[in-house]
Structure 1
């Protein structure tokens, strides 16, 4: 899939980039003339997106209850709509769940600054205690880019690890940045345990990446967990701005 051409600031401001973030609004800045923008709506399906899991023992997929794919959203997130669902039971206290897709249309072998804004559904109330960590604040949302396909590969000792540098849990790496955590705005113990929408975004200048020889990049979106139980997330939309440096 190709990243869209240059978008003017006026067109961007007229579009629906203003989204709700658990009761507050988050807006990415206008795209400048050296930038390109991409908007993904997972309600339209998951064509071309690949899912994966890392930081767990190979062959333990059933024990970890791993699942991924396009799924109907819970009613509290919208009726008759779909998202990309990732789910797993984090027995390793370090499970990484991700989706990735290749995009074309940027200049080859060129460094870009990338900004991300992701909207997702979360049922993890804030300030709760959990095994190994909190179900909300100890599950970190990450986004990034790589010129090679992000894959979970066997390290030779029986563990599946990422072939890119996504960092670990609350720390980002050279190929991924921490956007925030999985906690929603409801206090722990609230009787309403329905999923809520949450939006996170990165700051301009906080992350850069280099394109491949053909001008392509792989976009990565995922969760890095220190909570030793089940996390199920519904990714709804993803906005990316790539600015040539």
Structure 2
């Protein structure tokens, strides 16, 4: 028997009634947000806590207002790519508007609507990005433009152009010195669990989220106490990002509770 959700609240959403629609075997419910907007959501999205509003609240990883080359992100749309990635409406400096997915923007490979495809690449020689000063152009590596840079500490390093421009690379790595004091609880590093650093092997632009081509879903996962914990598979990229965020908060609460128990026992 299907659970009746009418009248129940999920975050800012109140379920009004059940519709005749179905998605992947789940009932679609008509809901009203506290802001006044009304939307339809599946029982799965409501129950797993991923969707708590109509979207009026700022979502993690919101690209609105950010610039990528000649492109300025205007808004998130309701449209999706073939693999269900959200499309963002962007305006190029030439005035033309285009729809692009997050990974296309954050990869650094697309920096205009196409009007600047044949323009000469920007010369970054002599420019500074954080502690890095660009010395010379290194060439393309796996399709990405790279530059030789000298850090203020004296070391030289090769950095992707996209990482320089979007602020991901600001030093040779000396800022992340191993001498930094890290805090461990029950064998898990709090700084590592909360870090915003994204591995170079990551292609989604979101930590702990990747696209499974066989399942055609965005997978969210997290490492905790040396084990990889599966957080779910999602059709929507933003849902996977939110699940990852909730996973971090959940495991941080576990660590804090464990630390509190140890302190209480020590005081006794």
Please, what TM-score do these two structures have when normalized by structure 1? 0.27
More strand by percentage: 1
Larger helix percent:
2
Taking structure 2 as the reference length, the TM-score comes to: 0.26
